[in-house]
Structure 1
Amino acid sequence: MNLFIYVVGFVIFQRIIELLIARNNEKWIRSQGGYEVGAKHYPYMVAIHIGFFISLIIEFIAFKEGVSRFWLPLFVLFISLQLMRVWVISSLGRYWNTKILVLPGANVVKKGPFHFIRHPNYVVVTCEIIVIPLMFGAYYTAVIFTLLNIIILSVRIPKEEAALREVTDYKEIF
């Protein structure tokens, strides 16, 4: 139980810090002439992420599974994902956000993990939605929220890419 509290508490704390970073970055982007795209789906994405934590906690308490027998390799993967998350956020700098915010005329970031894949943040989040529940035997949460995440990303990624193609050098870079 303590391990669950530490890991989930850490991730929730991390998300709160990220929301503060996102808010500051949003203010800066908007002050530079940036604007939001895809605002209609954003509340659903937030609801999915909040629902994920609620489901994870309820499932862990209700089924009392404890930690997975594969906990150690899953935990190593979890730590790797946290390092990747920091790499993504630091690579994007002031452009990183939880919302789709575009700045007309900006150059697309192609450094860090973006040198290798287009959407490393979505890869990290998708993996976390699978790995964290599996660490604690919350299999229903892993399956349900992986599917919900796929649905929301199938809306979000095309909107983000279309907006970037329209007002940045995204077409030339990718």
Structure 2
Amino acid sequence: MIGFTLLIALVGAERIAELTVARRNRSWALSRGGVEYGRGHYPGIAAAHAGLLGGALLEAWLLDRPFIPALGWPMLGLAVLAQGLRWWCIATLGRRWNTRVIIVPDLPLVARGPYRRLRHPNYVAVVAEGIALPLVHTCWITALLFTIVNLGLLRTRIRIENTALRQAADTTPASP
């Protein structure tokens, strides 16, 4: 149980690093005329991610969830791969990556790295992590609840993001 608690703490530290990067990138984007879209859905996303970490810890400790190696090790591997994909997205987007939907005018869509094959690879990482991380220690209730809540949030988020990208493309002059 101590190892799982440490894992959740490490993911929490990773989230703080993400928020630090996002805050810096948000300042950069806004200073270049960036526009934030869908501000109202963001608190729900933040709450769901906090709930994932807190829920997994509470479920593990309060319901005395066991570590089952045949489930736990593959789920840990999947969670690590999800983190790798997330940071690949962050590195690929550079200053344009954010936890919020902010569009900087006149910048083309990124079509390299994981974006070469997927439109929203970061959300693939979020879905995988939301399932895998709690299941490292058989916290199936947290995995199920987060997945249900997250799918609703992602549906809203992707709609907002696609609309924002479409609007930005409509106002961006065509290159010669």
Q: TM-score, normalised by structure 1?
A: 0.93
- Counterpart of 1:51? 51
- Counterpart of 2:4? 4
- Aligned mates of 1:34, 1:73 — CA distance in 2: 40
- Aligned mates of 1:66, 1:45 — CA distance in 2: 28
The one-letter code of the counterpart of 1:103 is V
Q: Secondary structure of the equivalent of 2:102?
A: strand
What residue ranges of structure 2 are gaps of 5+ in the alignment?
A: none
- Counterpart of 1:116? 117
Of 43-52 and 11-20, more deviation after overlay is shown by: 43-52
Q: Tell me the CA shift for residue 41 of structure 1.
A: 0.8
Q: Tell me the CA shift for residue 85 of structure 1.
A: 1.3
Count of aligned pairs: 170
- Counterpart of 1:92? 93
- Counterpart of 1:24? 24
Q: TM-score, normalised by structure 2?
A: 0.92
Q: Tell me the CA shift for residue 113 of structure 1.
A: 0.3
Q: Tell me the CA shift for residue 56 of structure 1.
A: 1.0
Q: Secondary structure of the equivalent of 1:66?
A: coil
1:155 and 2:156 equivalent? yes
Q: Tell me the CA shift for residue 94 of structure 1.
A: 0.3
- The question of whether the paired residues in 2 share the 8 Å contact of 1:68 and 1:134 is answered with no
- Counterpart of 1:62? 62
Runs of 4+ residues deviating >3 angstroms: none
Q: Tell me the CA shift for residue 72 of structure 1.
A: 1.6
Identity across the alignment (%): 37
Q: Secondary structure of the equivalent of 1:40?
A: helix
Q: Tell me the CA shift for residue 168 of structure 1.
A: 3.1
What residue ranges of structure 1 are gaps of 5+ in the alignment?
A: none
- Counterpart of 2:138? 137
- Counterpart of 2:33? 33
